[in-house]
Amino acid sequence: MTVIFRIFRGEVGNQYWEEFELARKPSLNVISALMEIQQNPVNRQGKKTTPVAWEQGCLEEVCGSCSMLVNGRPRQACTALVETLVRETGSATITLAPFTKFPLIRDLYVDRTPMFEALKKVRAWISIDSSNDTGSFGPSIAPEVQEAMYELSTCMTCGCCSESCPQVNEKSPYMGPAAMSQVRFFNTNPTGALEKSDRLEAVVGEEGIAGCGNAQNCAKVCPKQIPLTESLAVIGREATRHSLKKFLGVPDQKQ
């Protein structure tokens, strides 16, 4: 028994579909299949071709680098098991394509730099030199807050949420759901909350929370099941409160 991989290949302005046929194996996932094609890049027509280009890292659904469209759905290729995909679709043909919301490099390889630039814009870090700035251990955090923060911290910046979001496109400045959720994450941290107003200021416009159309696709495709719609709602309320205080001239209270 075999499985056919139909891959959308090429560069901008020269993209095409190419098929490869491999033997089905119980433990085969999309990444291992691509590795087999890389070792012997011969398509279904028996013609020698160039190896397929893609990005990968940890192969444990932690780094977020192997994002691609698998059967039209944004997901991590390292956890996409071939047998599961065949069973779900009832077809022995699996389609692979690059994300469409990021600059294409080649084949399945895209440039996720816009997501990392968005994290810079929202100050997705805690500005602190050492633990001495806040004491030996820093402010205490309640267990329930720690649990909520941990869930938010699992974001891999993989891009699945942005790929599924209709508001993330070349005509919109919207930074995407991941950046909004990271604003919530760092603002929840007692030390990170010292820069809460700066982060909210970065997301009050169309580039931020105002650009969200509440499609809720992001939460459906997130590999880590992060409550992205909840984060968007929280940031929406906080951004509105921040803008109102700024309009009324109410000074920020540093936490």
188 and 201 fall within a common domain = yes
Average of per-residue pLDDT values in the chain: 93
Query: What's the CATH number where 48 sits?
Result: 3.10.20.30
**80 found inside a domain:** yes
8 and 63 fall within a common domain = yes
Tally of structural domains, the chain:
2
134 and 242 fall within a common domain = yes
pLDDT at 132: 56
To the nearest whole percent, how much of the chain has pLDDT over 90?
A: 86
How distant, in Å, are the alpha carbons of 73, 158, 166, 173 from that of 149?
27, 19, 27, 27
28 and 122 fall within a common domain = no
pLDDT at 131: 53
244 and 151 fall within a common domain = yes
pLDDT at 161: 98
Q: What are 51-85's pLDDT values in tens digits?
A: 999 999 999 999 999 999 999 999 999 999 999 99
Range of the domain at 50: 2-109
Among 66, 82, 109, where does a domain finish? Answer: 109
pLDDT at 250: 84
**182 found inside a domain:** yes
pLDDT band at residue 184 under the 50/70/90 scheme: very high
- pLDDT reading at 220 higher than 90: yes
pLDDT at 140: 83
Q: Of 129 and 78, which is predicted with more confidence?
A: 78
**255 found inside a domain:** no
9 and 102 fall within a common domain = yes
100 and 129 fall within a common domain = no
Query: What's the CATH number where 237 sits?
Result: 1.10.1060.10
> Mean of the pLDDT values across residues 87-92?
96
36 and 105 fall within a common domain = yes
pLDDT at 255: 47
The residue behind tokens 């013609």 is: 47
**253 found inside a domain:** no
